[in-house]
């Protein structure tokens, strides 16, 4: 049985970090909240893929929804889950990892 990665608070309390493993870009509104709170530059703002190719109907997409967050450096995640706490659309998936991963 593999043991999960554990952390310690400054007070010595043990906690289990949960690392970001996925970001649902279909739900993402590109607000940038996760980017702003992440202490490790795990995220980047990118152009939304699969946007409407119909240039005549611009009412469905405004400039603010043409960008979404992406995981640029997921291996730099420290498992604090700050991104999930600030995300209004619940876009992030986290998982505890074993020492052997």
CATH number of the domain where residue 28 is located: 3.30.70.20
Q: Assign residue 9 a region: left if phi > 0, alpha if psi is -120 to 50, beta otherwise?
A: beta
Residue 67 has pLDDT above 70, yes or no: yes
Structural domain of 74: 15-49+64-95
Please report the pLDDT score of residue 53 as a whole number.
Answer: 47
Q: What average pLDDT score do residues 20-37 get?
A: 97
Please state, in angstroms and rounded to a whole number, the distance separating the CA atoms of residues 33 and 41. Answer: 12
* pLDDT the model gives residue 15: 94
In this structure, of 21-30, 49-58, 75-84, the range with the lowest mean pLDDT score is: 49-58
Q: Confirm whether 1 is domain-assigned.
A: no
- Contact present, 8 and 68 (Cβ < 8 Å): no
pLDDT over threshold 50, residue 84: yes
Give a yes or no: residue 56 inside a domain.
no
Tell me: pLDDT of 11 over 50: yes
In a domain, residue 68? The reply is: yes
Residue 55 within a domain:
no
Instruction: Say what the pTM is.
Output: 0.78
């Amino acid at each position: 049985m593999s043991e999960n990665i554990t952390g310690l608070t400054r007070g010595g309390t043990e906690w289990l970090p949960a690392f970001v493993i996925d970001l649902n870009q279909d739900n993402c509104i590109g607000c940038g909240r996760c980017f702003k709170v992440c202490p490790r530059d795990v995220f980047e703002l990118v152009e939304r893929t699969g946007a409407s190719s119909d240039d005549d109907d611009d009412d469905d997409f405004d400039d603010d929804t043409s960008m979404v967050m992406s995981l640029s450096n997921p291996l730099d995640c420290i498992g604090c889950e700050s991104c999930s706490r600030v995300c209004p659309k619940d876009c992030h998936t986290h998982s505890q990892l074993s020492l052997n991963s």
